[in-house]
Amino acid sequence: MKKYILLLVLISLFSFSQTNKGKITIKGNMVKAKSGKLYLYELIGNDSFVLDSVNVRSGNFQFKSNDYVTGFYKLAFNNETNDVEFVLNPKEGSVLEITFNEYRLSRNYDIKNSKDNTAKKLYNNKKNQIEIQVKKIKQDGSKTVEVRKKEVLRLNEELEAFALKLSRDYPNTYTAMILSKSKPVYENNSDKFFDDINFKDESIIRSNLIPTRIQKYMVMHSKYDPKNNKYAFYDAVDFIMGKAKVNEKVAEFCMYNMLDGFYNTSSTANDPMWIELCNYIIDEYFFGEACGEVEVSTLMKERASKFKDLQVGNIPPDFTIKDVNNNPVNLKSTCSKNTYTILVFWASHCKHCMSELPGLASWYKANKNKGIEIVAVALDANKDKWESTINNNGFNWLNVNQFKIYKSPVCKDYKVKKTPTVFILDKSMKIINKPKDTRQAITFLNNKIK
């Protein structure tokens, strides 16, 4: 079986040995919606970026013809929550025609003359089924944590097996190439872990393949006891970049993905090692010469620099966002008027937030005249729910919201991946502390203002 999978992977590598790019016109119709707006996103790793948009007229739509690199993309109708992933593969033709039979795009759609999208649709459906089952298991309080973990693992293995079957049933497609690597051929060999991936092929970054593989590789290195061998992760970074540098776009992507991963880990793990790793990637790869002849783009250097801006001792991005009364709130101006400003990202649907914030509200009421202010950035999409939560709980600080949840520009600037996320800023807007939660923020400031 393993030999068969290896052969399948080698065939896929050969089939996609070069970046596939070509002009495609995306068009189609919507049976249940006569008007609205469709947005086209490209998927880069686990992130999505808007490429284009068109108005739906009399149920029909058509995007202008453009050059697309083979990979996974996404269409969303009116808002990003109503979306569906699909494949653009120039090898299958210059026109991609889609019919959406329901208002919810992912429920019932057809794409003509595309083996790639037939495979992708089957995988999308299976993945959605598995995710629903996993969610139910995690919420089942009648089972022990150990039992739930085993059941989730079994479902994940079921999805991996389904992916491998699809890759056999739909050979020579982009979907097969990606799915065939869902499970590494050399899973337990760190030296050969990436041998089944062609890093010269830019299309590999247009899926979550590389982030998934990098995460698994880092988990493997975590077993090497980094506490006693702090350079284990540094070696892992160097090894991955040694593979990725054969393609500039792939190299940039890998740099940023590891930087983002280490930064997110630093937000939950109280260990300076993770920030040191972030700085190593920034200094050696984005601004140094560790990647040899790879020319890092100015945009990627700017994105990398923002990670340093979010470290203690530095100035984070400024912003101006309207508050609950529709008045603009500027962070820099707010900080200048107060000795300390707590910047907290929260959501009304977050149980941890709603457990902590009432206590913060009581503390704020007693201390706000001591040079303390709070700017609370909500990750709520529903304005009425946001406003009622503020009023019902006495959150009488500065409340702002961009109504795009984790896609909000301010969330992207501050690399917010969980709630609550807390920063404490001084009068100059410099970060003086990044507490784990609001309780730690209170403890820290009580020692400052007593």
Q: How far, in Å, are 76, 126, 384 from residue 83 at the CA level?
A: 4, 16, 24
Quote the DSSP letter at residue 402: -
pLDDT attached to residue 438: 94
Helices (H), 223-292: 232-244, 248-268, 273-281
Q: Which domains does the chain have, with CATH numbers?
A: 21-111 (2.60.40.180), 186-309 (no CATH), 320-449 (3.40.30.10)
Per-residue pLDDT reduced to its tens digit, 279-338: 999 999 999 887 777 788 888 888 898 899 999 999 999 999 999 999 999 999 999 999
Beta strands of 268-352 (E only): which ranges?
A: 320-322, 328-330, 340-346
Quick one: what percent of the chain has pLDDT higher than 90? 76
Residue with token string 């009116």:
78
State both tokens at 409. Answer: 């520009």
Return the pLDDT at 272.
84
Could you read off the pLDDT of 402-412 as tens digits, one per residue? 998 888 999 99
Calculate mean pLDDT across residues 236-265: 93
Residue 226 has pLDDT above 70, yes or no: no
Give the position of tokens 């020692």: 447
pLDDT at position 81 is 84
User: pLDDT (tens digit, 9 = 90+) per residue, 145-188?
Assistant: 999 999 999 999 999 999 999 999 999 999 999 999 888 888 88
Beta strands (DSSP E) in 270-359 are 320-322, 328-330, 340-346
Chain segment 348-401, per-residue pLDDT in tens: 999 999 999 999 999 999 999 999 999 999 999 999 999 999 999 999 999 999
In the numeric block, which tokens belong to residue 115? 């083996």
**pLDDT on residue 297:** 85
pLDDT, average across residues 264-275 = 81
**pTM across the whole model:** 0.82
Residue 19 pLDDT level (bands cut at 50, 70, 90)? low
Beta carbons of 27 and 54 less than 8 angstroms apart = no
CA dihedral 320, 321, 322, 324 (to 10 degrees): -130
Question: What confidence tier does 17 reach under pLDDT thresholds 50, 70, 90?
Answer: very low
Q: How confident is the model at residue 65 (pLDDT cuts 50, 70, 90)?
A: very high
The three-state secondary structure class of 73 is: strand
Residue 265: predicted pLDDT: 87
Residue 224 has pLDDT above 60, yes or no: no
Q: Evaluate if residue 5 carries a pLDDT over 90.
A: no
Q: What is the mean pLDDT of residues 67-82?
A: 93
Q: What is the pLDDT of residue 6?
A: 44
pLDDT of residue 296: 85
* Residue among 77, 157, 85, 81 nearest 120 (CA): 85
Can you give the C-alpha Rg of the chain in angstroms?
24
Q: Helical H runs in 368-437?
A: 383-393, 409-413
Closest of 102, 99, 77, 106 to residue 26, by C-alpha: 99
